[in-house]
Chains A and B, each alone.
Chain A
Amino acid sequence: MIQFDNVTKRYPGGIDALKNLSFKVEKGEMVFLAGHSGAGKSTLLRLVAGIDRATSGTVLVNNQNLGKLGGTQLSFMRQHIGLVFQDHKILFDRSVFDNVMLPLDIIGFEPREAAKRVRAALDKVGLLDREKSNPIRLSGGEQQRLCIARAVVHRPSILLADEPTGNLDRDYAHDIMELFRSFNQVGVTVLVSAHDEMLMHTYGRRIIRLAQGHLTP
């Protein structure tokens, strides 16, 4: 599903965020990505989503070599991925409902069917009663759940989450992780980065550890 072969990512200024990285995530797997800040977790997720391109090596997602895809093809590829951002990237000029509607708008969903899906996604993350609210009125944890609803509303085959529990307390973090596990149970490939190893261990899933752009045991 996701395969890295000798991937190096060098940012302008000569800093190597990832060095000769190789790994594989199978279809339907749920994998944690661990490491300190600056270890390259975010960079790895950005490469999988095609937001950045690898400097060398190949990134395969759904059997497609992302290095060979043009801008429009990358966009279409991204329509099959759900992204949960560390900083949420919620739009405050529209309601909770319209925020979740955005991916379906982009795909061009028929409005009535889209509204049903939006409500289903909001229900799943427990925000259905807030659909008309402005997201600015939501707490940090609720904003994170809103971001998750937006990431899954179009039923992606891959879900990528960058430090989704970073700013949340333990209980809340567990709720979020439970959500990801339930998506994984219905067949979605999930890749979640975090730095709380204790939390990860409770789920007994594979952990990919990164340090200074390398894999570490």
Chain B
Amino acid sequence: MKHLLYLHGRAARQALRTLLRQPLGSLLSLFMLAVAISLPLGLYLTVASLASWSNGLAASPQITLFMELNADRADVETVNQTLKQHALVHSHRFVSKESALKDLMARNGLAEVTDGLAGNPLPDAFIVSPKDTEPEALERLQKELSGLPMVETSQFDAGWARKLHSLLTLGHQLTILLGAALGIALVLASSNTIRLQILARRNEIEVSKLIGATDGFIRRPFMYFAVFQGMLAALVAWGLSAWLIATANPAVAELAALYNNHATLRQLAPEEVAALLLGVATLAALGARLATGHVLREMEPS
């Protein structure tokens, strides 16, 4: 056991030396790999950020009911009672036309405009929080509430939420697709790098095998090399995506501010970095395994 650990340690050191002695060309290919990884990584982060942001939006969807302008206190009370007893309504809040006007004047500095009005042009309104936040259930409830007596109209933009939702689903699928394609490319790239290294050291491998090297012994330095190179590429990709996000964030915040909203793209969480490193290392090792397996099979005793 201790002996095996020693052999592993030596193979790892040998791989590290090979990696550090690499010519510039190999460093460029490493950088290329990193750029390729950072692409789906950036997309993943964008989609994940948007998804959590839209979750915050949809966490408390509300339906607004506007009463007819000539509705009186009794009509308002009838609707109030209906809402109180409705099974699908979680809670509701009444906004009188007077308080709505006061709000408007205070918020937008439209005092002069409203002063010039003959009367209050705003209707009484209810803000309803439904129990069920599924888009379809929301739409059904909205339709039902619009039918209440003296209710002029109700507003809930279910279409907008649904569009965002399907857009995010598309982005999510695109990330998976891009990630899968890149995963395959990573295996092939790693296998190709290792194949070239094996070709350069074919004599050594052949002689080693003849004088008693096990397949594991021959394979080990190549596996470590592939894993180190993959992890290095993943780390560079992480840095690249972090830089991309940091660069994009001011623009995103500006855009969100236009909608009176606050939004930022998030960075990779520590456990996501770990998963990235592990995933890339696994794929790189798989590629190296394919390349070494091919050569070793050719050398098996017949």
Contact = CB atoms under 8 A, between A and B. Distances in A.
A79 B212 contact: yes
Contacts of B301: 50-53, 71, 74
Interface residues of A, number: 28
A79 B216 CA distance: 14
Contacts, number: 62
Interface stretch (B59-67, B111-119, B202-210): B202-210
A78 B6 CA distance: 21
A93 B300 CA distance: 24
Given A93-B204, A102-B207, A52 B302 contact: yes
A53 B212 contact: no
B302 A106 contact: no
A76 B212 contact: yes
Contacts of B3: 108
A105 B285 CA distance: 23
Contacts of B208: 102, 106
Interface string A76-96: 111101010100010101000
B207 A75 contact: no
B31 interface: no
A107 interface: yes
A209 B38 CA distance: 68
B302 A53 contact: yes
Given A50-B301, A53-B302, A74-B301, A106 B204 contact: no
Contacts of B214: 71-72, 75-76
A102 B209 CA distance: 11
B154 to A, nearest CB: 75
Nearest to B207: A89
A75 B212 contact: yes
Interface residues of B, number: 21
A83 B211 contact: yes
Contacts of A79: 211-212
Given A78-B212, A102-B208, A102-B211, A91 B203 contact: yes
A106 B212 contact: yes
Interface string B235-263: 00000000000000000000000000000
A150 interface: yes
A150 B204 CA distance: 14
B213 interface: yes
Contacts of B88: none
Contact of B211 (A12, A52, A72, A150): A150
B7 interface: yes
A103 interface: yes
A198 B224 CA distance: 53
Residue in B207, B208, B215 whose Cβ sees the most chain A Cβ within 10 Å: B207
Interface string B184-226: 0000000000000000000110111111111111000000000
B213 A106 contact: yes
A15 to B, nearest CB: 13
A71 B211 contact: no
B210 A89 contact: yes
Contacts of B203: 89, 91, 93
A68 to B, nearest CB: 13
Contact of B212 (A12, A52, A85, A103): A103
A75 B217 CA distance: 10
Given A52-B302, A53-B301, A93-B204, A103 B211 contact: yes
A214 to B, nearest CB: 22
Interface in A124-170: 150-151
Contacts of B216: 72
Nearest to A111: B10
Contact of A91 (B204, B212, B300, B302): B204
Given A71-B301, A106-B217, 12 more contacts: A49-B210, A51-B210, A52-B302, A72-B216, A75-B215, A76-B214, A78-B212, A81-B212, A89-B203, A89-B207, A106-B211, A151-B211
Query: What are the nearest 8 A-B pairs in CB distance?
Result: A79-B212, A78-B212, A75-B214, A106-B213, A108-B7, A89-B207, A72-B214, A53-B301
22 contacts: A50-B301, A51-B301, A53-B301, A53-B302, A71-B214, A74-B301, A75-B212, A75-B213, A78-B212, A79-B211, A83-B210, A85-B210, A89-B206, A91-B204, A91-B207, A93-B203, A102-B208, A102-B211, A103-B212, A106-B208, A106-B211, A108-B7
